[in-house]
Amino acid sequence: MHEEFVITRLCRLGRVLGLARGPRPGGTPAVLVIPRGGRLHAPRLVLFGGPDAPAPHVPGSPAPADAHTVAHLDGLGGAARRESADVLVGRAPRPPFGAARLRRVLERHPGCGVAVAAGRDGPTAALRGGETVRAHGTAAPWPCAEGPVGAGPFGSLLFAWTAAGLTVGDLAGAVVIAGTLGARDLGRSGALHVSGRIAVVPVGGALRRRAAS
């Protein structure tokens, strides 16, 4: 990870998920979202994988698979791929991809849902719904070496989250923990091996939240 074709599963946890220190090689990249007030009541777990990855055991409600495509803005070639991508990623921090530039990316690519770029203090992302957010955190590196929080994984998290009908405001008001989900053991999922925490911070305004769930 991070793949050009990403499969995600988002579930509502049905029981307590154990946490372990330090990421675990070979596990499934995952993000645990724990509500802290607001309208989101139950914790959510987002799992990430590629087309060839086996379906992980999910410790909660059934989690149907969703998929999206990722393309890089600063890569050579691949114009057709960028035109059809759900998430567009600018990896180079210089020249910087500010919020206004990310908005222009969305304007030029009407099929894109999230435009995201790396930065010194964490990636910044603009969403089709109008929100712009930045990720700060200690998840180093999650789940690939693009910086403290990878721009591509952050874009995929936002796309999967909003595609499930949740809002970025729910993320901003929650405890967000990144890591890898351990292998299944005796019919139960393993612990979440924690890389660190991610703070989702609004850029230039308040974020909307959805109805209670």
Confidence of residue 146 (pLDDT cuts 50, 70, 90): very low
Q: How many CA atoms lie within 13 A of 109 on its CB side?
A: 28
Q: CA-CA distance, 213 to 61, in Å (whole number)?
A: 14
- For 93-130, the pLDDT digits (tens) are 555 667 888 999 999 999 999 999 888 778 899 999 88
The two counts, helices (H) then strands (E), for the chain are 4, 11
Phi, psi of 134 (to 5 degrees): -125, 145
Give Cα 197 to chain centroid, integer Å: 12
* Total-model pTM: 0.85
1-5, 19-23, 46-50, 191-195, range with the lowest pLDDT: 1-5
Quick check: 104 and 39 in contact, CB under 8 A? no
For residue 96, what pLDDT is reported?
60
For residue 196, what pLDDT is reported?
87
- For 71-98, the pLDDT digits (tens) are 988 765 577 888 889 999 986 555 566 7
Give yes or no for residue 32 having a pLDDT over 90. yes
> Residue 4 to residues 21, 67, 87, 114, 189: CA-CA distances in angstroms?
29, 10, 9, 14, 27
What average pLDDT does the structure give for the chain? 79
For residue 204, what pLDDT is reported?
74
For residue 128, what pLDDT is reported?
93
Q: CA-CA distance, 195 to 180, in Å (whole number)?
A: 8
Q: CA-CA distance, 193 to 35, in Å (whole number)?
A: 19
Confidence of residue 162 (pLDDT cuts 50, 70, 90): very high
Mean pLDDT of 174-188: 72
Complete DSSP assignment for 129-185: TS-EEEEEE--TTSSSSSSSS-HHHHHHHHHHHHHTT--HHHHHTEEEEEEEEPPPB
Q: Beta strand 87-90 with 65-72: parallel, antiparallel or unpaired?
A: parallel
Mean pLDDT of 191-204: 87
Query: What radius of gyration do the chain's Cα atoms show?
Result: 16
Q: CA-CA distance, 49 to 180, in Å (whole number)?
A: 11
Q: Give me 208's structure tokens.
A: 């909307």
